[in-house]
A and B are shown apart, each in its own frame.
Chain A
Amino acid sequence: AQSVTQLDSQVPVFEEAPVELRCNYSSSVSVYLFWYVQYPNQGLQLLLKYLSGSTLVKGINGFEAEFNKSQTSFHLRKPSVHISDTAEYFCAVSRIQGAQKLVFGQGTRLTINP
């Protein structure tokens, strides 16, 4: 079975500051890795994904994440955040077979202060 741990439930940062949202996962098989964002009263939107290849993946809205197999981590980063980045962020994993079955972390609420 797979599991995901998001190490911070809430992260407050100032506008234009850098941010890192941490995610660790556990799995006995190879997995795909994802970050999704959820804005208030909306569904989830894919930010970025790691399927294979380069361990640094770039996504939408200036976000990027690095897959570290030895540390089983997939941390999300942005060098300079904007007020509009205020949202809840979810890290997720899926098995390569049956990839539609995502296992999500508990989420990190990112709050941007002016």
Chain B
Amino acid sequence: KAGVTQTPRYLIKTRGQQVTLSCSPISGHRSVSWYQQTPGQGLQFLFEYFSETQRNKGNFPGRFSGRQFSNSRSEMNVSTLELGDSALYLCASSPDSNTGELFFGEGSRLTVL
């Protein structure tokens, strides 16, 4: 069974630009969550989607948004990039059992210059 796939793995943007990151969950998983990992703030929850609906949301500004498609694939978008948005963005999928066991992708490393 293929794991969680995130694209792109690495990207460099400049301040003010926007970025879209993609995540393909494990086949059969309908929940997709996004986390931001930085050296200073650690791992922080962004949002979770289930069956195309945002089910949970973290404490991030509205510049961070996401969506989920009918095939469970998910995208997250960050608009008006700031230097502090430089981070590893991790996507995780899980089955419907709601036990909190997440399967993570390798992440998309975003550098904002």
Chain A interfacial positions (CB closer than 8 Å to B)? 32, 34, 36, 41-46, 49, 51, 90, 92, 94, 97-107
- Write out the residue numbers on chain A whose beta carbons fall within 8 Å of the beta carbon of B104: 36, 43-45
Count of inter-chain pairs, beta carbons less than 8 A: 67
Instruction: Describe B's contact surface by its main secondary structure.
Output: strand
Q: Indicate if the CB atoms of B94 and A100 lie closer than 8 Å.
A: yes
User: Which chain A residues border B92 with CB–CB below 8 Å?
Assistant: 43-44, 100
11 A–B contacts from the bound complex (CB under 8 Å): A32-B99, A43-B104, A43-B107, A46-B102, A49-B100, A49-B101, A99-B99, A100-B55, A101-B45, A102-B33, A102-B35
Binary flags per residue of B16-33, CB closer than 8 Å to A gives 1, else 0: 000000000000000101
* Partner-A contacts on B (CB < 8 A): 4, 31, 33, 35, 42-45, 48, 50, 55-56, 58, 90, 92, 94, 98-107
Other than A43-B105, A49-B101, A94-B100, give 12 A-B pairs with Cβ distance below 8 A: A32-B100, A43-B4, A43-B106, A98-B56, A99-B98, A99-B99, A100-B31, A100-B100, A100-B102, A101-B58, A104-B42, A104-B44
Closest to B107 in A: A43
Min CB gap B45→A, angstroms: 5
